[in-house]
Chains A and B, each alone.
Chain A
Amino acid sequence: MAWLSLLADYTMRNVVLGSALLGAVSGALGCFAVLRRQGLLGDTLAHAALPGIALAYLLTGQRALPVLLAGAALSGWLGTAALIYLSRATRIKEDSALGIVLSVSFAVGVVLLTFINRQPQARAVGLERFLLGQAAALTADQVELMALLSAGVLIVLVLGYKEFALLAFDAPFAASLGWNTTALSLLLTTLIVITVVVGLQAVGVVLMASLLIAPAVAARQWTDRLHLMVWLAAAFGAISGVMGAWLSASDRGIPTGPVVVLVLSAITVVSLVVRRVRAWLARRAAKGEAER
């Protein structure tokens, strides 16, 4: 098969591995975001990262990934701060705060991008790849950096699993145990910021929301137990990451993000349908039992 030969290619193997890792991490992390009803936080943070990327390039003149990602993380963080401030200290409700931070920071990013595009070497900088994702354009050391960051997130997630689980399930109870829930939730948000920033290259600003939400929702349909849900979500994320990278690599014109999202959506739809069918079968069985 043609696409199998892609695996033989060293760079391609890197890209696929990187995407798989990214999918797994965002899938696992997404479970906590979704359970805390913060699904769209990732969406907003991804958009908030855009002006940071553009500004980092404009200020340093460098297009090295670590520089751009640092800018992205910084502005993602600022976006989080704005979100928290707006929904706590003003009468603005959380959904409006999400919409405001998302759209305004994207607007600032768009303005900054026009400055960059005016420069002669604009095409070479290729910041546009952050919008819809272009995993195939990743170089080996970029993948290495992504892998490193993802692994870091994963380690923190494993170490703090019990704490995050309780935070997601019952934050007031966690607080009553004397845990610093503000710090915990800040840590979780930081992990989301890092994951989003890492994911930008692969799936892009616009579709990052899906990578955090869909695997978690799909996994939730198969199990009622958190650790199983986290594993499953990681697996779903990884599978779609691999498929996305593969398919978009086989045709340079296709951005990665949409492919990843469509694979994920297919998995989610199947999961939702299976859940309904299983519930229906269970009800029918129960009814049959009762009649007998």
Chain B
Amino acid sequence: MSALLVVLLTGVLTAIACALPGSFLMLRRLAMLSDAISHAILPGIVLGYFLAKGPNFALGLLGAASVAILTVGLIELLQDVSNVAGESAIGIVFPAMFALGVLTISRYYANVHLDTDAVLFGNIEFAPFESLWVGEHHLGPQSLWVTGGLALLNALFVGLLYKELQLATFDPALAATSGFSPRLLHYALMAVVAVTSVAAFTAVGSILVVAFMIVPAATAYLLTDDLRRMLVLAAGCGVASAVIGFVLALALDASVAGAMASASGLLFVTAALFSPSHGLLARARQLRRQRLEFATETLLLHLRYHETLPGEEHELEVAHLSNELRWTPRFAQRVIAHAQRSGLVQRTNGHLALTEAGRAVAEHLSARTGAGLERARA
């Protein structure tokens, strides 16, 4: 397998593995806990390195996962026992753990395989060069086995426990009364996040793990209102970020992990702007339409009011209207055009008049809202 392909596949599989538990972290408002965990596992990895007297994946994983669970427990302890607010508890625990790890590395393992650069940026570029051996058999790059296994494991976790995770996230109280311990599920999710962080950590470093966990999930959150679809979309966004980032990194000769995480940011911004349901543009358009519809109702009521007063035809000129209702002339034109298009208003030699349909709507409106006439007068 070509070395480049191994790098790309490692990125893609890491993205899938991260996006699935990341989606639940985001929905549980624990996004920053992924930041905490991905930093706090460092001393665990160092511990594994120390125990194995060298790089050893299994021991590193074990050490890191146990430290991660310890971190989550410590954060909860600070919150429950000492009344430290959630985000402060996170901000106390993970820097301490990370500092411990960095200090140990720079003091005892400086310039060895484990250096601080790898901690901060990961070394996905080296993924092709570490092979998995079972006895004499060469099974290909270790990173593919690890990230692939993790992606599969996480898909199974989310797939099998979908119902339980959905319920415990949406309504922990109902989960508890239905016999699904939210605490157990919480810690199961945390364990999955921890193991995933360790694997992702070796590929992309401790800070970019957060990008892989949260950003694709948030992108999917802006695109759909269906949890199942959201999980699939999150994984999809992760894959797309990995591919786009890989291409960008090759083109610009830049850090692969950095480019992949940047690409996920790019996708997120695109969704935040253009999502048909929750994007900025869609919301603005919706707001504009609501304003126009409201204004049209006001116009109908206003015309209806003046119809009841004799000899006030001049009121119904466009210029007067915009003056009276305190609309800018442009907005007034838009409202009138909209009302005309809808067949509610017609223009006869400079004067506006209600059509039959318009009068019916206006009467319905003023009957429904007692204040209708008030609004028309204002």
Contact = CB atoms under 8 A, between A and B. Distances in A.
Contacts of A118: 253
22 contacts: A89-B283, A90-B222, A96-B29, A100-B215, A100-B218, A100-B265, A103-B208, A104-B261, A107-B208, A110-B208, A118-B253, A132-B102, A206-B98, A207-B98, A210-B92, A210-B99, A214-B92, A214-B95, A255-B102, A255-B116, A258-B106, A262-B103
B201 to A, nearest CB: 13
Contacts of A96: 26, 29, 31, 214, 217-218, 221
Interface of B: 26, 29-32, 34-35, 39, 78, 81-82, 84-85, 87-88, 90-92, 94-96, 98-100, 102-103, 106-107, 110, 116-117, 120-121, 207-208, 210-211, 213-215, 217-218, 221-222, 249, 252-255, 257-262, 264-265, 268, 272, 278, 280, 283
Given A40-B87, A210-B96, A276 B82 contact: yes
B254 A114 contact: yes
A89 B260 CA distance: 26
A288 to B, nearest CB: 24
A78 interface: no
Nearest to B278: A91
A259 B85 contact: no
Interface in A175-224: 206-207, 209-210, 212-214, 216-217, 221
Interface of A: 34, 37-40, 42-43, 47, 86, 89-93, 95-96, 98-100, 102-104, 106-111, 113-115, 118, 128, 131-132, 206-207, 209-210, 212-214, 216-217, 221, 253-255, 257-259, 261-262, 265, 268, 272, 275-276
B87 A110 contact: no
Contact of A114 (B32, B207, B258, B265): B258
A155 B144 CA distance: 55
A223 B211 CA distance: 38
B99 A108 contact: no
Given A92-B221, A95-B32, A255 B106 contact: yes
Dominant SS among interface residues on chain B = helix
Contact of A258 (B99, B217, B252, B261): B99
Contacts of B283: 89
Contacts of B34: 99
Given A92-B221, A103-B215, A209 B95 contact: yes
A214 to B, nearest CB: 5
Nearest to A94: B29
Contact of B102 (A89, A92, A103, A258): A258
Contacts of A103: 35, 207-208, 210-211, 214-215, 261, 265
- The 6 A-B residue pairs whose C-beta atoms are closest, nearest first, are A107-B261, A110-B258, A104-B265, A103-B211, A258-B99, A210-B95
Given A99-B210, A259-B103, A261-B99, A132 B218 contact: no
B214 A110 contact: no
Contact of B82 (A109, A253, A265, A275): A275
